[in-house]
Chain A
Amino acid sequence: MLIHLIEKRFDIRRSALVVITSMLLLGCANSETRSHARDTTQTEFDGAYGFTVSETVRITSDVRNDYQRAVLLLETDQLSEGIELLESVVERAPDITIPQIDLGVAYGRLGDTDMAKQNLSKALSLAPNHPVALNEMGILHRRTGNFQSARDHYERALAIHPHYHFALRNLGVLCDLYLEDLECALEQYERYTEIVTDDPDVAIWIADIRNRLVLSGQE
């Protein structure tokens, strides 16, 4: 009943709830996935506007509690302490995706790009299509000048989650500033503003791109 109500209200063209198992997605995986036989996560799409990526985890309450404590430390900018605790979580639960992702994000904030990439690679070997890992890896590749790899990661995230606004905006910035692909940038920014309707900055960026396209005779 609930699903029918949502469908009717928002005219969602895609099926209201699609469960994509990991095996179906393996075709999209790149080298980060090849060492593992399967994706450990599953994605439930909640209409056009959301999704949940979940993973069955078998861990002790100690590990779970330590993870939550680590996140609290990280979110309060106690990065070194948070990383240390999160490393111990990963040591005890090496096959769980999210602690690896959070470690990657934490190392990225610390400026340790190598460790950030290493942890996100592990996460992507467990869950090749995890949108957070793909987006964060895209940022890291851009920072290190691997622009095509950055683009690949954002595009992989968007291929499965086309409304994932983080990747939309980041791909737009990449195309705009670093690849000079203005058509690509405009497309991403426009799709982004359909989702994030109150971002005044991106509205200016769109105007800027249109102006540059006119000047270069592309539009």
Chain B
Amino acid sequence: MEDDQALRVYEQYLTEYPEPIETALEIRFKVSSAYKDRGSEEAYLDQLQAIVDIDREAGSARTDRTRYLAATSSLVLTRPLYHQFEILELVQPFEDSLAEKKRLMEVALGGFDALVSYEVAEVTAAATYYMAEIYGHFSDALVASERPTGLSEAELSAYELVIEEEAFPFEEQSIAVHQKNLELMRVDVFNEWVQRSIGKLAVLMPGRYAKFEISSGFVGSIDHYAYRSPGAPEFTLPITPDTEITHRSEPPEDQLPALSLAGGDDVDTSY
């Protein structure tokens, strides 16, 4: 009830004070979040579209903040283009579904490409990630496409070969665009989307990108941490009557930490 009242006050404010634009867009962004929280998807998207439109028409009133709000709103509005493209399977008749998939691919690529013009790092990284995924998905979709019936074994082999040849450049394109996303790190941009690109590249090019940090894990002993390099040579002491232990360099065995010195724990860098 309280939320309803707040929402009404916000909307009243927007009606009476559409300017200054930056303040109005901030409030509209809050309104959109309120609709999202209550599950009013259509009203949520309408508010986001309004933010995009107002920012676009703002002229000299446009600020970095309005651009940011419009860019993040536009990203949400563009994402369905990817999902519409993704869910369409390549089935027989192949030519028809391929033409439709290609059309949706162009629409989605155009939508995400347009987001880059906002010059908002977070949104640029997200848009680049999605564009890379579009190419990657198209490659996968070709490989998984429904095969025509009535082919001989030799014809089917030839068909498979052609499909793989057609799919491969799209996979390469996907890799290249994900790598482009990593270039953002050179200008100190690192966020979820760049990290996701690294995660995807780790699968596509494991030798180059599947490189994860290792944690030593929990220490496991409250008063000491004992470390011995995994490459340390094993040694046994010659036991002679005059051997005496003059120093104990490690704690007693029952106090050793429950810790794997050799392996550690891989830290997955993908989200």
Q: Which residues of A contact B (CB under 8 A)?
A: 1-3, 5-6, 9-10, 17, 44, 46, 48-57, 59, 63-64, 67-68, 71, 74-75, 96, 98-99, 101-102, 105-106, 108, 130-132, 135-136, 138-139, 142-143, 145, 147, 161, 163-166, 169-170, 172-174, 176-178, 180, 194-197, 201, 204-205, 208
Give every chain B residue within 8 A of A174 (Cβ-Cβ): 213
Interface of chain A, main secondary structure? helix
Give every chain A residue within 8 A of B165 (Cβ-Cβ): none
Question: B225 at the A/B interface (Cβ < 8 Å)?
Answer: yes
Indicate if the CB atoms of B225 and A180 lie closer than 8 Å.
Answer: no
Give every chain A residue within 8 A of B233 (Cβ-Cβ): 10, 49
Give every chain A residue within 8 A of B190 (Cβ-Cβ): 145, 147, 178
CB-CB contacts of B217-237 with A at 8 A, as 1s and 0s? 111111111111111110101
**Interface-side segment among B70-78, B133-141, B246-254:** B246-254
Q: Which residues of B contact A (CB under 8 A)?
A: 185-186, 188, 190-191, 198, 207-233, 235, 237-238, 242-247, 249-251, 258, 262, 264, 267, 269
Leading 6 A-B pairs by shortest Cβ distance: A145-B190, A49-B232, A50-B228, A54-B224, A195-B231, A46-B249
Q: Give Cα A120–Cα B208 distance, bound, in whole angstroms.
A: 31
Indicate if the CB atoms of A96 and B211 lie closer than 8 Å.
Answer: no
Known: A130-B225, A208-B208. A196 touches B213 (CB 8 A): no
Indicate if the CB atoms of A52 and B251 lie closer than 8 Å.
Answer: yes
Give every chain A residue within 8 A of B238 (Cβ-Cβ): 5
Indicate if the CB atoms of A165 and B219 lie closer than 8 Å.
Answer: no
Give every chain B residue within 8 A of A6 (Cβ-Cβ): 235
Indicate if the CB atoms of A136 and B215 lie closer than 8 Å.
Answer: yes
Indicate if the CB atoms of A51 and B231 lie closer than 8 Å.
Answer: no
Indicate if the CB atoms of B186 and A180 lie closer than 8 Å.
Answer: yes
Give every chain B residue within 8 A of A56 (Cβ-Cβ): 223
Residue in B closest to A166 when the chains form the complex, CB atoms = B216
Indicate if the CB atoms of B237 and A5 lie closer than 8 Å.
Answer: yes
Give every chain A residue within 8 A of B229 (Cβ-Cβ): 48-50, 163-165, 195
Indicate if the CB atoms of B212 and A135 lie closer than 8 Å.
Answer: no
Interface of chain B, main secondary structure? loop
Q: Give Cα A35–Cα B215 distance, bound, in whole angstroms.
A: 27
Known: A55-B223, A132-B219. A2 touches B212 (CB 8 A): no
Indicate if the CB atoms of A132 and B216 lie closer than 8 Å.
Answer: yes
Indicate if the CB atoms of B208 and A98 lie closer than 8 Å.
Answer: no
Known: A2-B246, A105-B218. A53 touches B213 (CB 8 A): no
Residue in A closest to B210 when the chains form the complex, CB atoms = A201
Indicate if the CB atoms of A1 and B243 lie closer than 8 Å.
Answer: yes
Give every chain B residue within 8 A of A98 (Cβ-Cβ): 219, 221-225
Give every chain B residue within 8 A of A5 (Cβ-Cβ): 237-238
Name the one of B185, B212, B262 contacting A196, with C-beta atoms under 8 angstroms: B262
Give every chain B residue within 8 A of A173 (Cβ-Cβ): 211-213
Shortest Cβ gap from B169 to chain A (Å): 22
Known: A56-B223, A145-B191. A2 touches B218 (CB 8 A): no
Known: A1-B246, A71-B258. A51 touches B223 (CB 8 A): no
Q: Give Cα A44–Cα B223 distance, bound, in whole angstroms.
A: 14
Give every chain A residue within 8 A of B191 (Cβ-Cβ): 145
Q: Give Cα A108–Cα B262 distance, bound, in whole angstroms.
A: 21
Most buried by A among B198, B213, B217: B213
Indicate if the CB atoms of B224 and A9 lie closer than 8 Å.
Answer: no
Shortest Cβ gap from A165 to chain B (Å): 6
Shortest Cβ gap from B183 to chain A (Å): 10
Known: A1-B246, A139-B213. A50 touches B219 (CB 8 A): no
Indicate if the CB atoms of B249 and A52 lie closer than 8 Å.
Answer: yes
Sample of 16 further A-B pairs with CB below 8 A, known A3-B247, A99-B222: A1-B246, A49-B228, A49-B233, A54-B225, A63-B222, A98-B219, A105-B215, A131-B216, A131-B225, A142-B213, A166-B215, A169-B214, A172-B211, A173-B211, A177-B211, A195-B229
Q: Give Cα A50–Cα B251 distance, bound, in whole angstroms.
A: 12
Give every chain B residue within 8 A of A67 (Cβ-Cβ): 222
